Each structure stands twice: as structure tokens, then as C-alpha cells.
């Protein structure tokens, strides 16, 4: 049977890319993403200025922030952005490394594709290499002991912060971050969400401080209340301090005496609430809902400090910091439910006022208060602190570290090359390309520092072949040194997660040989070249 009319199985305005074209296009997109963050790696990495559609400016060298702000549209490139988010969520650092490694794995896979090696063979070889690399990583990691713990944790943070906006005060920040993590640790469990980061435009980043308590963006309800309460006993209320359901009530008043009686009764109920609070011993109140103006007046007369409309998450942080309990019914409020702090104080900076709860005895929620001269500076410092917090938390959980400055990547590469000799199939070539991809990290570190990457890699390989497994690039001296002795160390988990994430996304992209892109008529006119770039 002969058909003269062509058969269409896809909707109109659907683009289709098949076979090699699809693979090459996806690999190119991934490489472009890796190139976008490549220059930010390491102590001498450069920053990016990102300006969005409304003119807001972000200046950073944080990999995940750059990729999120770029508003990438290419589907394969979006997958690269996802691994940076996963790396950030799981470890808090190493996002640039993960993206660069994935990009290099795909670039190297292109060479194998040119050699007519099937993508399935390449992905199998990459998976074998990744599992073996994680085994070697565990062997090469160093267990930390309690005696050296504080020293090593400080070095972890200073390594993470080198090359970021907070580098000039990295020693002070290291102390703040280590103290904060150790304070909130409970039986080896660490929830970084219990460390609140608050930014305040004033002074300079050198005055950034760790507060053993909580800072909330609320002011006292009345200026008649004391601005500072020492030896605070804190009540945390999730109910409102108001006459309930007054709006829905239907009241029939037919004489002035009845009106006065109603007002007196309402005031009596409100005064009773204040009496209950005072009887509990509380001199500070944080209320999740509203506080009646009459109650505010009486609280002020009793010298009780009060804040209203405090977010539920803030109340929970206050409970963890002060040891208090959140009370949903005022009748249940007693001395046992109160939290404690050395001081609760309202502090004004310009027109803005914040409430500081300071000097909590054994807080399980803390605040890092960042000072800075501009929003851009404080945002970048915040990102650096979050990286440091993630690194310290990872080390405390795993108790394992590895040598930084490219040393671990070169050693892993060397071991993978040796391992590849035991393989007989074409997977051997994929394992070798995986090993080659790992060298991209130290090569980029050298390149970003203005050094010759070929010379550095050659010397690094020679030193590692001679058994110097901790030899890495000390960017500050421009020499190959034992970086473990220099205190340039990183969490083992950061490297492990980067290898896992990069391998997963690379193998997924390599297995794609057909791309269908559906567009509306309007989009097809304006975005017909969506695959030619990143956005």
C-alpha cells in the first residue's frame, strides 16, 4: 500500500533532535554551564556580577547562586543546575566542583563517542569509576580525633572561606562557625536551620558576632515598656491576648449604663490576662498573634516587655534557645513553661528596631549577626558562612577529612588509572577518562591563580607517583607542598557528594539520544533557537 501523504505523529511546532545531534547539543550545554562557573574556583577565583530583569545586582563566586540567578532554560543545562542545588542542600559547599566535574565528564565522553564507543558502555565505565573513586576516597580520608578536633574544624572553615568575600576575617568567622555548630550539636545530630543568620547594615563585617540567643525583627509593642529587661523570664504564647470572637458577637445595648457595664467587663477580662502573666513570673512576652492595646498599656505599667505577631518559626527558635515552652492557652502558663535569658533588649539601627534575646544558658538555637556596609557585601558573607557551616557539620557527622588544594583529586586520578589496567573491556577507556576529568579541578585551581596548569599537573603527578599523596597546590606560595601540614583540608563528604552528583547527571545526559521540544505558536516565533545557548 502506497501512502502519498506524509504522516505526522507529533503536534505542530514540536522540535525534534535525534542521535548524535541530541547528544552533542546536550554535552555542549553542560560544558557551557561548567565554563560559566569555572573561573570562580579556588582562592584566586573571580566573582560574577549578575543583574536580573528588574536591575537587582548580585555579586558572588558561589556556584549555586550563579546558576540559579542565570535563569537557564536549556533542559540539559537545567539538570546541571539541579546537581548544584543538591550539593548545596546535602553538604553546603562544593557546588562549583560538582558542576565542573560533570561538565568535564561529558566533554571527555565526547572523545569516546567519536571513537564509536556506545553511550551505554561509557555510562557503565563511569559508574564503575565513581564507585571505585568513593572507595579510594574512604581509604584516603583521615579520621579526626577529639584532641585535634577544634584545630581541624577551624582549618576546614578557613579553607572554605578562602577566596570568598569574608576572607579578610576568616579566622574570626571560623571561630564563630565552629562555636555555633558545637553549641547546637545534640548526640551527633546537627540541624543547621537552628542557626539563624541576620543581616544588619552597619559598621563593617569585622564586627559580625555570634549571639547565644535569638534576634528577631520585631520591636516592643509600646514605647512605655522597658527597652531592656535583665534576667528575663520569657513567656511564649501561640494565642492572642485579645477578647476572642468579639467581631462575631451580637451585643444589644439599650442604655448608657449597659454600655459602661460592657466596657468595664471587657477591661476586667483584659486585666485578668495581664494578672495571669504577671503571676507566672514572666517579664517578657513573645506572642504569635495580636495583643490588645489595653493589654499593652497594662503590660507597660507592670514593666513587662512584649512583642506581637512573632512568626511560628521564630517562637520555635526562641523555645530552643531559652528552654521555654510554647503555651497555647494562657491558663496553662506557669513558671515551669518560662524560658530564661540574661537580657532581652530592643536595639535600634537607624529607623529599624530589633529585639535581641541574649545570654541563654544552653541554647540549641543561635543567631549569627552579620554587619556590613552594603547589602551585596552582607549577602556574599552570608553565603560564605553557610558554606562554612555546611562543611563543619559534614565533618562532625562523618569525622573524616581529606587533603584539599587538588591533592585528593590527583591521588584519586592516579589510583583510578592503576585500577583501569585491571579491566579488559571498553569500560577501561571510560574509567581512564573519569580519572582524567578529576585532574580538571587542580588544573583549574592553577589556571585561576595565574599558574601554568600543564606544569603544575606534571609536577603534581610526579610527586604523587613518588608517594607524596598529600601534595597539592598552595596558591599563596605558588608551590607544590604537603597541604595537610599547611592546614588546607576539606570534608570527605563534600568530595564524595560531588563525585556522586556529577556522575549521575553525566550518565543521564549521555543516555539521551532523542529530544522533543514542544512549544506554543508564540514561543516558536520568539524562542526558535532555544537550543543554541543557555538562555
Give the other-Cβ count within 10 Å of 315's Cβ.
Answer: 20
Structure confidence at residue 471 as a pLDDT band (50, 70, 90): confident
pLDDT score, position 51: 82
Tell me the per-residue pLDDT of 336-370, one tens digit each, with 9 for 90 and over. Answer: 888 888 888 888 876 778 888 888 888 888 888 88
User: In terms of pLDDT, which residue wins out, 534 or 285?
Assistant: 285
Distance of CA 14 to the CA centre of its chain: 38
Q: Which residues contact 528 (CB under 8 A, 6 or more apart)?
A: none
Mean pLDDT score across all residues of the chain: 79
- Our answer to whether residue 65 is catalytic in this structure is no
- Our answer to whether residue 387 is catalytic in this structure is yes
**Torsion sign, CA atoms 136, 137, 138, 141:** positive
Burial 207-242 (b: 16+ CB within 10 A, else e): ebebbbbbbbebbbbbeebbeebeebbbbbbeebbb
Domain residues of the chain, as ranges? 14-143+402-449+492-521, 214-355
Task: Check if 14-143+402-449+492-521 and 214-355 are the same fold.
Answer: no
- Our answer to whether residue 96 is catalytic in this structure is yes
Tell me the per-residue pLDDT of 268-312, one tens digit each, with 9 for 90 and over. Answer: 777 778 888 888 888 888 888 888 888 888 888 888 888 888 888
Pure H helices in 293-374: 293-301, 312-322
Mean pLDDT of 111-130: 86
Q: Give the highest mean pLDDT range of 4-8, 18-22, 480-484, 525-529.
A: 480-484
Place of cell 565552629: 178
- CA atoms of 35 and 38, how far apart (whole Å): 5
Of 95, 123, 159, 494, the active-site residue reads 95
Mean pLDDT of 506-519: 74
340, β-bridge pairs: 233
| DSSP character string of 150-164 | HHHHHHHHHHHHTTS
The answer to pTM > 0.85 is: no
Structure confidence at residue 141 as a pLDDT band (50, 70, 90): confident
Per cent of the chain over pLDDT 90 is: 0
Of 40, 60, 96, 158, the active-site residue reads 96
CATH code for the domain defined by 14-143+402-449+492-521: 1.10.560.10
Of 40, 58, 60, 62, the active-site residue reads 62
Phi-psi region of 200 (alpha: psi -120 to 50; beta: other; left: phi over 0): beta
95 exposed, middle or buried (CB, 10 Å; 0-12, 13-18, 19+)? buried
Report the candidate in 59, 66, 91 with the shortest Cα–Cα distance to residue 80. Answer: 66
Mean pLDDT of 467-475: 83
pLDDT score, position 11: 57
Tell me the per-residue pLDDT of 48-85, one tens digit each, with 9 for 90 and over. Answer: 888 877 777 877 777 778 877 777 777 778 888 888 88
Residue 533 C-alpha cell reads as 545557548
pLDDT score, position 22: 74
- CA atoms of 28 and 9, how far apart (whole Å): 28
Mean pLDDT of 320-324: 85
pLDDT score, position 514: 64
User: If DSSP codes are grouped into helix, strand and coil, which group holds residue 37?
Assistant: helix
Of 93, 292, 379, 387, the active-site residue reads 387
3-state DSSP percent of the chain in helix, strand and coil, to 5:
50, 20, 30
Report the candidate in 320, 326, 342, 357 with the shortest Cα–Cα distance to residue 217. Answer: 357
Q: Is the pLDDT of residue 373 over 80?
A: no
Tell me the per-residue pLDDT of 40-57, one tens digit each, with 9 for 90 and over. Answer: 887 777 878 888 777 778
User: If DSSP codes are grouped into helix, strand and coil, which group holds residue 474?
Assistant: strand
| DSSP character string of 369-421 | EEEESSHHHHHHHHHHHHHHHHHHHHHHHH-EEEETTTHHHHHHHHHHHHHHT
Burial 260-287 (b: 16+ CB within 10 A, else e): eeeeeeeeeebeebbebbeebebbbbbb
**Domain 214-355 sits in CATH 3.40.980.10:** no
**Torsion sign, CA atoms 405, 147, 93, 180:** negative
Report the candidate in 417, 168, 183 with the shortest Cα–Cα distance to residue 320. Answer: 183
Phi and psi at residue 402, to the nearest 5°: -135, 160
Q: Which residues contact 137 (CB under 8 A, 6 or more apart)?
A: 402, 408, 412, 492, 495, 496, 499
247 exposed, middle or buried (CB, 10 Å; 0-12, 13-18, 19+)? exposed
285, β-bridge pairs: 235, 306
Amino acid at each position: 500500500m502506497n501512502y502519498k501523504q506524509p504522516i505526522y505523529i507529533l503536534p505542530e511546532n514540536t522540535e525534534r533532535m535525534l542521535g548524535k545531534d541530541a547528544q552533542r547539543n546536550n554535552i555542549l550545554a553542560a560544558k557551557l554551564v561548567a565554563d560559566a562557573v569555572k573561573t570562580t574556583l579556588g582562592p584566586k577565583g573571580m566573582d560574577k556580577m549578575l543583574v536580573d530583569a528588574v536591575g537587582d545586582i548580585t555579586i558572588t563566586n558561589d556556584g549555586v547562586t550563579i546558576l540559579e540567578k542565570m535563569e537557564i532554560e536549556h533542559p540539559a543545562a537545567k539538570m546541571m543546575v539541579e546537581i548544584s542545588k543538591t550539593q548545596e542542600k546535602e553538604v553546603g559547599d562544593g557546588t562549583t566542583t560538582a558542576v565542573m566535574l560533570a561538565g568535564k565528564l561529558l566533554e571527555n565522553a565526547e572523545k569516546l563517542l567519536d571513537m564509536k564507543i556506545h553511550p551505554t558502555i561509557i555510562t557503565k565505565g563511569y559508574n564503575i569509576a565513581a564507585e571505585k573513586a568513593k572507595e579510594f576516597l574512604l581509604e584516603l580520608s583521615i579520621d579526626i580525633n577529639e584532641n585535634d578536633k577544634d584545630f581541624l574544624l577551624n582549618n576546614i572553615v578557613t579553607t572554605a572561606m578562602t577566596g570568598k568575600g569574608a576572607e579578610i576575617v576568616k579566622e574570626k568567622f571560623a571561630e564563630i562557625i565552629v562555636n555555633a555548630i558545637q553549641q547546637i550539636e545534640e548526640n551527633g545530630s546537627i540541624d543547621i536551620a537552628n542557626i539563624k543568620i541576620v543581616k544588619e547594615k552597619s559598621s563593617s563585617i569585622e564586627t559580625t558576632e555570634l549571639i547565644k540567643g535569638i534576634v528577631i525583627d520585631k520591636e516592643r509593642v509600646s514605647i512605655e515598656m522597658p527597652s531592656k529587661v535583665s534576667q528575663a523570664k520569657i513567656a511564649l504564647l501561640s494565642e492572642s491576648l485579645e477578647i476572642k470572637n468579639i467581631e462575631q458577637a451580637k451585643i444589644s445595648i439599650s442604655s448608657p449604663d449597659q454600655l459602661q457595664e460592657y466596657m468595664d467587663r471587657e477591661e476586667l477580662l483584659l486585666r485578668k490576662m495581664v494578672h495571669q502573666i504577671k503571676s507566672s513570673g514572666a517579664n517578657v512576652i513573645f506572642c504569635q498573634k495580636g495583643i490588645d492595646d489595653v493589654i499593652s498599656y497594662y503590660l507597660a505599667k507592670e514593666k513587662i516587655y512584649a512583642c506581637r505577631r512573632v512568626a511560628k518559626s521564630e517562637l520555635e527558635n526562641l523555645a530552643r534557645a531559652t528552654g521555654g515552652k510554647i503555651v497555647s492557652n494562657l491558663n496553662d502558663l506557669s513558671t515551669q513553661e518560662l524560658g530564661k535569658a540574661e537580657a532581652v533588649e530592643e536595639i535600634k539601627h537607624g529607623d529599624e528596631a530589633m529585639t535581641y534575646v541574649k545570654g541563654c544558658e544552653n541554647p540549641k538555637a543561635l543567631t549569627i549577626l552579620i554587619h556590613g556596609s552594603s547589602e551585596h557585601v552582607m549577602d556574599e558573607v552570608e553565603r560564605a558562612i553557610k558554606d562554612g557551616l555546611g562543611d563543619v557539620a559534614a565533618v562532625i557527622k562523618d569525622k573524616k577529612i581529606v587533603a584539599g588544594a587538588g591533592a585528593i583529586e590527583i591521588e584519586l586520578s592516579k589510583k583510578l588509572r592503576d585500577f583501569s589496567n585491571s579491566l579488559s573491556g571498553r569500560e577501561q577507556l571510560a574509567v581512564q577518562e573519569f580519572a582524567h576529568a578529576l585532574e580538571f579541578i587542580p588544573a583549574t585551581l592553577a589556571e585561576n591563580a595565574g599558574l601554568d596548569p600543564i606544569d603544575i599537573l606534571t609536577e603534581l603527578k610526579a610527586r604523587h607517583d613518588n608517594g607524596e599523596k598529600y601534595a597539592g597546590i598552595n596558591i599563596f606560595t605558588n608551590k607544590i607542598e604537603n597541604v595537610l601540614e599547611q592546614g588546607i583540608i576539606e570534608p570527605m563528604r563534600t568530595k564524595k557528594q560531588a563525585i556522586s552528583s556529577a556522575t549521575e547527571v553525566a550518565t543521564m545526559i549521555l543516555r539521551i539520544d532523542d529530544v522533543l521540544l514542544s512549544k506554543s505558536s508564540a514561543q516558536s516565533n520568539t524562542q526558535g533557537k532555544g537550543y543554541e545557548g543557555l538562555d
